Amino acid sequence: MDTITPQGGIWAMLASATMTVRFVLLILACMSLTSWSIIFMKIFTLSNARKDAAVDYKRFQEAENLKIAMRALGHNKHSPAYAVGLQAFEELARMEDADLEPVDKARIAMDNIRRTLRQAVGNEVGNLAKSLAFLATCGSAAPFIGLFGTVWGIMNSFHAISLQQSAALSSVAPGISEALIATAIGLAVAIPATLAYNFFLGFIQAIERELVNFAGAFLNRIQREVSWMPQLKEPPARRISRSEDI
């Protein structure tokens, strides 16, 4: 009785595949290994980033003043909130030393700090989103790469029919099997990559919201505490120290 697949199952089927189909399967295997490495890495990285951002936002809100708040954030220098706050704090320190009239200094400083916070949040979100483009590529390209192997296997099947002048199942089964294997592996690469990509996008959006909230809290604290802001009349002792003192 004829069998549809060669003896030995899938491994024998792969061993008998053409070089083109083997090359396609090798590409898909590399894509799968890379995408799963990214998935596991991002689960760890984004989970820590979200937790750190939430904890640091709470620490910042509970601190007595801006200097103490930045020192509290400095306990975890890998936190995205610390990176955002540090850039804004350094810009604040540079503006404090600027030789400008108080009214102009306050206006320019707030504009500069807003831009700095916006850029810092964007940079942190961009860093967290690194490698996600590869998952998107796998999700969109892997099925078509598998489809190429499918088409090639079917072409070989028709070529076998023409050579053997027989349409028996045993003559076309190997090529069809190769085709189905390529399609299946292409989908196996694309489905988890697409699911992970969409999941991580939602995760990053949640972290971005935490950082935006932190940036707003940073601006509010500056307006309340910085002594050279014209609307506040606080003693010079409350002046912000240089960032290297943090």
CA distance 41 to 162: 50
pLDDT band at 234; cut points 50, 70, 90: very low
60-83 residue pLDDT tens? 988 888 888 888 888 888 899 999
Q: pLDDT at position 13, please? A: 62
Q: pLDDT at position 149, please? A: 82
Q: Which residues touch 171 (CB under 8 Å, ≥6 apart)?
A: 157, 160, 161, 164
Of 122, 46, 128, 39, nearest to 84 by C-alpha is 122
Question: One-letter amino acid identity for 32?
Answer: S
* DSSP 8-state class, residue 237: G
pLDDT band at 213; cut points 50, 70, 90: very high
Secondary-structure percent of the chain, ordered helix, strand, coil, rounded to 5: 80, 0, 20
Cα atoms found within 13 Å of the Cα of residue 155, Cβ hemisphere only = 9
| pTM for the full predicted model | 0.76
